[in-house]
């Protein structure tokens, strides 16, 4: 293991713990401000675009378009960070919306929501490790973890859109 890898590993561990912790803490913070725009459809769209970026990035790498793959993946990371910032801004300035559906729809909604939340925490170190293995040119190990990171990240992005669609009638 190189010293660069060891340095990155410390950052991966710190960020993988700090991001969910900060989100949990900030979820309890309420700012008395009204945002000029309604954010949920915006951050749901960002999740949808992230899904498309991930799919196109896999296509690019399978077709040996490595520079395109790299640009798409960096953009997907930026979009995921942007999603998180907007998501937190909304929840710090607005009350949470209660799901109003009933019966099996309510069960489906909560299964998707809970799996989305849990996997959004789990995917953080996967994305970071996958990214570090790429930038340190450890391509074989990058490929090995990317085959797990991709479906996890894609599920988190897509399930975020589904959660928004299901709760949108109750805003």
Domain ranges of the chain: 37-170
What lies within 8 Å, CB to CB, of 133 at 6+ separation is 139, 141, 142, 145
DSSP state of 137: T
Instruction: Locate all alpha helices (DSSP H) within the chain, ordered by sequence.
Output: 3-27, 40-62, 66-93, 103-135, 139-167
Model pLDDT for residues 49-99, shown as the tens digit of each residue: 999 999 999 999 999 999 999 999 999 999 999 999 999 999 999 988 999
CA–CA dist 1, 124 (Å, integer): 21
- Compute how many other C-beta atoms are within 10 angstroms of the C-beta atom of residue 70: 15
Does position 141 have pLDDT exceeding 90, yes or no?
A: yes
Model pLDDT for residues 99-115, shown as the tens digit of each residue: 999 999 999 999 999 99
What lies within 8 Å, CB to CB, of 56 at 6+ separation is 72
DSSP state of 95: P
Is the pTM higher than 0.85? The answer reads: yes
In this prediction, residue 30 has a pLDDT band, given cuts at 50, 70 and 90, of: very high
In this prediction, residue 122 has a pLDDT band, given cuts at 50, 70 and 90, of: very high
Does position 1 have pLDDT exceeding 90, yes or no?
A: no
Does position 5 have pLDDT exceeding 80, yes or no?
A: no
Name the CA dihedral angle for 162, 170, 30, 37, rounded to a multiple of 10 degrees: 80
């Amino acid at each position: 293991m190189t010293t660069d890898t060891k340095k990155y590993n410390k950052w991966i561990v710190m960020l993988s713990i700090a991001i969910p912790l900060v989100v949990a803490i900030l979820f309890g913070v309420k700012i008395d401000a009204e945002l000029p725009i309604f954010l949920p459809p915006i951050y749901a769209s960002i999740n949808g675009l992230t899904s498309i970026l991930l799919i196109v990035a896999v296509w690019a790498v399978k077709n040996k378009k490595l520079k395109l793959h790299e640009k798409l993946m960096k953009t997907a990371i930026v979009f995921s960070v942007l999603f998180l910032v907007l998501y937190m801004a909304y929840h710090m300035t607005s009350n949470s919306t209660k799901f109003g559906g009933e019966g099996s729809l309510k069960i489906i909604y909560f299964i998707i929501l809970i799996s989305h939340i849990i996997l959004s925490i789990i995917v953080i170190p996967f994305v970071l490790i996958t990214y570090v293995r790429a930038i340190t040119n450890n391509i074989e190990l990058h490929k090995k973890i990317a085959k797990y990171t991709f479906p996890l990240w894609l599920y988190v992005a897509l399930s975020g859109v589904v959660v928004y669609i299901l709760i949108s009638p109750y805003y």
